[in-house]
Amino acid sequence: MPEGPSIVILKEAVKGFKGKKVIKITGNTKVDFSGLLNQKINGFKSFGKNFFVCFSKAAIKVHFMLFGSYRINERKGTPPRLSLHFKNGELNFYACSVKLVEDDLDTIYDWTVDVMNENWNAAKARRKLKAAPNTMVCDALLDQTIFAGVGNIIKNEVLFRICVHPKTKVGRLPPKKLTDLIREARQYSFDFLEWKKRYVLKKHWLVHTKRTCPRDGSKITKEYLGRTHRRTFFCNACQTLY
């Protein structure tokens, strides 16, 4: 589930519950959601990898982490973290983080940081990158305060697409490459969305989990890089270390 585009798919998939009243709330979460019982869902929102079920006075924030999943009008064998029951169906969340957010989402989230958002602000991303010149590009792409929604797969594919080595420091990127980085973080996310919808995402991976470079046939390097030691695939021959 995790990366931003997958959350956009979820948001579209649950549209049928908009305006519906929650008639029962169950699950093994310790969070008390009883205040939302018999409330109508105003709508669904996403911010990066976060998914929100919005009510008039609060919202449920769902984060799927690495292993989270959901089912719509279906159940898995494992106990759900949270189930929202409606007259016309149910929405089940598994192995995820769920929280009650009582603040106004518009005041606590800057939607323009979300690469999938219609109000994505590339200039703002550029300013933030300029302010962190010593950050490696592999870390910068995973920074949710700059590129909310970008995950490890998108990171690897974007860097391959723009021919930049993951260890490159942001401050050493030529201006044109910095532009490419920002543009492709968003563009690849939308490509990811379309491929995922058509169940052909993996088929389009050029470097992630690959062994040979589709450009020059050289061996793909796999290393655990960056602040959080994430799996990073890259081609030493065609991805330049600036």
Where does this chain bind DNA (CB under 7 A)?
1-3, 6, 48-49, 63, 65-67, 69, 76-78, 94-95, 97, 142, 144, 151-153, 227-231
The three-class DSSP label of residue 212 is strand
Q: Taking the complex as a whole, how short is the minimal distance between the CB of residue 116 and DNA, in angstroms?
A: 13
Residue nearer to DNA on the CB measure, 87 or 229: 229
Residue nearer to DNA on the CB measure, 20 or 204: 204
CA angle 224, 178, 123 (to 5 degrees): 120
Torsion on CA atoms 148, 153, 156, 159, rounded to nearest 10: -50
Residue nearer to DNA on the CB measure, 77 or 175: 77
Specify burial of residue 110 (Cβ count, 10 A radius: 0-12, 13-18, 19+): middle
Of 182, 211, 69, which Cα lies nearest the Cα of 120? 182
Residue nearer to DNA on the CB measure, 41 or 188: 188
CA angle 157, 159, 163 (to 5 degrees): 115
Q: Taking the complex as a whole, how short is the minimal distance between the CB of residue 156 and DNA, in angstroms?
A: 8
Q: Taking the complex as a whole, how short is the minimal distance between the CB of residue 113 and DNA, in angstroms?
A: 12
Q: Taking the complex as a whole, how short is the minimal distance between the CB of residue 87 and DNA, in angstroms?
A: 27
Q: Report d(CA 42, CA 20) in Å as an integer.
A: 8
Name beta bridge partners: 22: none
Q: Taking the complex as a whole, how short is the minimal distance between the CB of residue 161 and DNA, in angstroms?
A: 16
Residue nearer to DNA on the CB measure, 41 or 192: 192
